[in-house]
Structure 1
Amino acid sequence: MKHPRILLTGCSGGGKSTLLDELARRGHRTVPEPGRRIVAAEGDPDSPRLPWNDLACFARAAIAQAIEDYEAVRDHPGPVFFDRGLFDAQVALAQAVGEAPDAEFAARHPYDSWLVFLPPWPEIYVGDAERRHGFEAALAEYDRLRAACPGLGYKAQVLPRDTVATRAEMLLAPLG
């Protein structure tokens, strides 16, 4: 891969969006979470594009958004940090339809081989309008994402629970 495409994934409420905001503040190119944007834009509470109404439909919409996001930064000359993305949407779709994620499909839009996982952190977990599931569901999601890494050609790098500044430094140090 010509330029690093770094995916932040892991537990809902683990600090991904906060870390992404810090990276953007430091001048790095970032891409916000597709799923949150879909939920925020959906005006119909009964829409199948909402995960609590139809997880498969939502995941397919998130896949489409993640591909669009990826293509939009394909030629960006430096690192790009993604808050969730195609990997997460594929794992959600696999859960919804009871199939394994498609490794060939994922390979067409690759992230760096190490996915950055933000672990469960109950002290900072909060629900909101876009995150209606509880912490137990977030833990199950984290386990599914970790388990899916090898099958999609990725390894997990888990960032420790720490300040956002320290986490950002840990991500940026290997990039120089």
Structure 2
Amino acid sequence: MKNRKIVITGGPGTGKSSIIHKLEAKGEKCLHEISRQVTLEAQKEGIDQLFLEKPLLFSEKLLEGRLKQYHEAKDFESDHIFIDRGLPDVVAYMDYFDTNYPGVFDKTCENHRYDLIFILPPWREIYTSDNERYESFEEALKISSYLYSTYRRYGYDPIEVPKLSVEKRTNFILDKI
């Protein structure tokens, strides 16, 4: 099967970016998380924290960007591509923050299917916060539960990646595909 879209997801601080970078180092095709990019673009326009100030607009921009990534994945000359977060992540976060959203969010998730979902569980020992990640570990735990339930709601059976070294987690993912 050509151009299988494989999502790597999980709550904040679970090691997604480290695994994506390790996959790239092994020669795998990857598309990176875009939420920091959306935040930085909004800051250039004078909105300090778009997510906090205009959550629906932030989510619309994320949905648009992740949909663009979904379509970009078709253009890669590879039998698979790894994507740091998928469309359902947008809905999971909006549900977590109890943000009302139009039906286009659900329709987009229903009409654009991924082939495999890997989910990284919360892991206190590796969790850190930074300028863009302001959630506490307890909030990260709750977000993670929303991610699990949202992906299941859209008919996925996420594969949980065990808490191991980055190398072993990466190899676990590669062995499963």
Same structural fold, with TM-score higher than 0.5 when normalized by the shorter chain: yes
Task: Please list, as runs of the form range in 1=range in 2, the aligned pairs for 1:29-108 lying within 5 A after superposition.
Answer: 29-44=29-44, 47=47, 50-76=50-76, 77-94=78-95, 95-97=98-100, 103-108=106-111
Higher helix share: 2
Q: Which runs of 5+ in 1 are unaligned?
A: none
Where does residue 148 of structure 2 map in the other structure? 146
Deviation by residue 1:144-173 (Cα, 9 ceiling, x = unmatched): 111112221111211111111101111111
Is the CA contact (8 Å cut-off) linking 2:91 and 2:106 kept in structure 1?
no
Cross-structure match for 1:170: 172
Which range moved further: 116-125 or 40-49? 40-49
Q: TM-score, normalised by structure 1?
A: 0.87
1:18–1:164 CA contact under 8 A, matched in 2: yes
Given that residues 12 and 135 in structure 2 are in contact (C-alpha distance below 8 angstroms), is that contact kept between their aligned partners in structure 1? no
| Aligned residues with identical type, % of pairs | 27
* Cα RMSD (Å): 2.3
How many Å apart are 1:45 and its aligned residue?
8.4
1:9–1:118 Cα contact (<8 Å) kept? yes
The number of aligned residues is 174
Q: Which runs of at least 4 in structure 1 moved beyond 3 Å after TM superposition?
A: 98-104
Instruction: Give unpaired runs (5+ residues) of structure 2.
Output: none
